Amino acid sequence: MDSPQVSIAADQALPLFADGLRNVHALDKNCREMLERQVERLEDYPQVEARLREHLRDKAAQLQRIEGILQDLGESPSGQNEAAALGGHLSTMTNAPATDGILKDSCAAYAMANLEIATYESLLVLGEAAGKVDAIRALQTSLSEERAMANWLAEHMRETTVMFLKTKSEKARRPATERRKDVLELGERMQPGRTASCAGLTRASTWRRSTGRFAETHGWPGQARP
């Protein structure tokens, strides 16, 4: 769809364009951080992992494009803003381990891609009003990448959900000790060191309870292990 004609002087549109560039730069950084967290826990979904890793390469290119445009304008990225804050709210969906993590990740990635599509669409109008033809070409490439990502996620959402159900069913049939190991490994990836510490505390607590019961039964005066 062609952009509507706007009646504003280029010098008035230019600072608005620069602000829009900073907005989308912060949003892209938020999205990149979210994707980096997601790909680390997708070993059961290699197709999704491969596509998100590909989009991470898109993100690196998008950030470079925006930084280049800002540099040409004599500007630089700075601070957080409303668009980045909204992207941050979406990315919190993926922060904690969850039994349905792949579904939350897919929904968050889809929502983020559509947020970026809307942001780039607006930015293109601002760039046109500012008369920045070369910048518009570069931004159009980024917009196409976000549309491709959103389309891929939408087309594969049902397939991913079916794979999630299959994986969950297969894991439910495995011995309890193996399932517990999976949970500990997931927790360790999310918060390194914390899981092992918690497991150690659990073992120590169990030992103290058992020695306390032994002392009560046999009249053992010794002090339980700390």
Question: Does residue 80 sit in helix, strand or coil?
Answer: coil
pLDDT at 177: 61
- How far apart are alpha carbons 217 and 94 in whole angstroms? 49
pLDDT at 226: 45
Among residues 146, 134, 149, the alpha carbon closest in space to that of 65 is found at 134
Which residues contact residue 174 at a Cβ distance below 8 angstroms, ignoring those fewer than 6 apart? none
- How far apart are alpha carbons 125 and 220 in whole angstroms? 82
pLDDT at 15: 95
Among residues 104, 80, 83, 78, the alpha carbon closest in space to that of 92 is found at 104
Give the start-to-end residue ranges of the domains of the chain.
Answer: 10-172, 176-218
Q: What is the pLDDT of residues 10-63, one digit of tens each?
A: 999 999 999 999 999 999 999 999 999 999 989 999 999 999 999 999 999 999
Positive or negative torsion for Cα 98, 102, 107, 113: positive
pLDDT at 38: 93
For the chain, the average pLDDT equals: 80
Q: What is the pLDDT of residues 55-98, one digit of tens each?
A: 999 999 999 999 999 999 999 987 555 554 555 555 555 555 55
Q: Which residue has the higher pLDDT, 157 or 85?
A: 157
Task: Confirm if 31 and 58 have CB atoms less than 8 A apart.
Answer: no
pLDDT at 78: 74
pLDDT at 190: 57
pLDDT at 106: 94
Give the count of alpha carbons within 13 A of 146, CB side only. Answer: 26
pLDDT at 171: 81
- How far apart are alpha carbons 78 and 72 in whole angstroms? 16
Output the pTM of the full model.
0.70
- The verdict on domain 10-172 having CATH code 3.40.718.10 is no
Q: Which residue has the higher pLDDT, 10 or 226?
A: 10
Amino acid 109 reads A
Task: Confirm if 112 and 34 have CB atoms less than 8 A apart.
Answer: yes
Q: Which residue has the higher pLDDT, 224 or 175?
A: 175
pLDDT at 181: 61
